[in-house]
Amino acid sequence: MKTERLDKITKRFLEKGLEQMVVCDPCSVFYLTGKMINPGERMLALYINKESSKNRIFINELFTVNEDLGVKKVWFDDNSDPAMLLSEYTDKNKLLGIDKKFEARFLLRLMECGGASGYVNASECVDIVRQQKDTDEIKLMCEASRINDLAMGEIIKRISFGVAEEEIASQMIEIYKSFGAEGYSFEPLVGFGESAAIGHYEGGARTLTEGDCVLIDVGCVKDGYCSDMTRTFFFKSVSDEHRKVYEIVKKAQQAAIDMIKPGVRFCDIDKAARDIISQAGYGGRFTHRLGHFIGIECHEFGDVSAKNESIVKPNMIFSIEPGIYLEGDVGVRIEDLVLVTETKAEVLNNFTKELSIIG
């Protein structure tokens, strides 16, 4: 077990009036044990008690986990009743914190078995701790972003007349693997021209004409940690209006990055970028939140949006990704990951944001 991480989580649930909780999100189990177990439909549960000698991890025998995870393993098979088994280890007369990813069928069964005196959603005890990365995680996040920079440089060499969006998207995996990454952190988003104005467009058969924008939003996973970056290029030439839109998005992104430091509210960072886009007359065309947290998962708990009034803390890593989308015409988004230091935001991506004509 990663004891420093475990201690922070235990402190959080104690503050909530809890003495025990069940963690079952495989990413949170990985965060705490260093072992990624994808249980599919089987139950995976890491039971944590304030008395650490009571901690247990419940794993189906189908999964090979030979290593010592620093917590006692309780094995079960497909003929057993894993939630009932779990109820034999919980403190029945006390509240039990529950991970939001614990499947209802297991939780309901645990309740039938009288596993606790009450059940509380305690996911935030883990999710909030995961927002602030430790030294090991920061190193891994920097490396994933370094690979993403290299991959972006490689993919744009392949943009030319006749190449379809989906061909570009499908080449990302091989590029990432050539740089030592395990795979995608999400399906690559590649949009040319008006396709780029469609939210979460994954690429189709469209090919390029001169003057099209080329939006590439991609990320990889390296040693369990994610990267995520977007760049928007122009093919062969750029119109004056598209150049103007690009420069507004770039300015909005920089304004947001410049104000990041511990103590600033996320909603104010979102507003800084949004105000610049609105004042330029494109307010209604920036249709999503400014950013999201990232780490073991590409989208983790917490975001940079008008509704998040919480404050920035050191060692948080999140994306800053404003965009302007003009339906039937163009989409521009510029996205970087930032690491919060004691005084400012350090940008993890080094790929240029100067307007670039490619092809």
Residues at the interface with Mn ion (CB under 5 A): 228, 319
Q: Read off the tokens for 223.
A: 């040693």
Q: Burial code of 173-205, b = ≥16 C-beta within 10 A, e = fewer?
A: eebbeeeebeebbbebbbbbbbbbbbeebbbee
C-beta of 10 vs 319, nearer to Mn ion: 319
What is residue 340's three-state secondary structure? strand
Nearer to Mn ion, 168 or 334 (CB): 334
β-strand pairing of 56-60 with 72-76: parallel
Report the C-alpha gap between 31 and 334 in whole angstroms: 29
Burial of 168 (0-12, 13-18, 19+ CB in 10 A): buried
How far apart are CB 298 and Mn ion at their closest, in Å? Answer: 7
Q: Which is nearer to Mn ion, 238 or 334 (CB)?
A: 334
Q: Is 332 helix (H, G, I), strand (E, B) or coil?
A: strand
Instruction: Using the minimum distance from each CB to Mn ion, give the nearer residue, 228 or 270.
Output: 228
Task: Write down the least CB distance from residue 7 to Mn ion, Å.
Answer: 31
99 vs 335 by CB, closer to Mn ion:
335
138, two tokens? 């920061």
* Coil/strand/helix, residue 342: coil
The neighbouring-strand residues paired with 317 are: 339
Q: Which residue type occupies 50? A: K
CB of 299 to Mn ion, least distance (A): 7
For the CB of residue 79, give the shortest distance to Mn ion in the complex, in Å.
43
Smallest distance from Mn ion to CB 65, Å: 32
Give 212 or 228: the residue with its C-beta nearer to Mn ion: 228
Cβ–Cβ < 8 Å for 230, 331: no
- Residue with smaller CB distance to Mn ion, 102 or 233: 233
Smallest separation (angstroms) from Mn ion to the CB of 319: 4
Find the shortest distance in angstroms from Cβ 186 to Mn ion. 8
> How far from 193 is each of 161, 201, 206, 213, 325, CA to CA, in Å?
13, 12, 9, 5, 11
Q: Are 222 and 140 in contact (CB under 8 A)?
A: yes
Cβ 321 to Mn ion, closest distance in Å? 5
Residue 157, helix vs strand vs coil: coil
Between 253 and 319, name the residue whose CB sits nearer to Mn ion.
319
DSSP classification of residue 194: G
55 exposed, middle or buried (CB, 10 Å; 0-12, 13-18, 19+)? buried
Count the alpha carbons within 13 Å of 152 in the hemisphere toward its beta carbon: 30
DSSP state of 125: H
The residue among 165 and 321 lying less far from Mn ion, judged by its C-beta, is 321
CB of 292 to Mn ion, least distance (A): 6
The residues that bridge with 95 in the sheet, in sequence order, are 118
User: Is 231:334 a contact under the CB 8 Å cutoff?
Assistant: yes
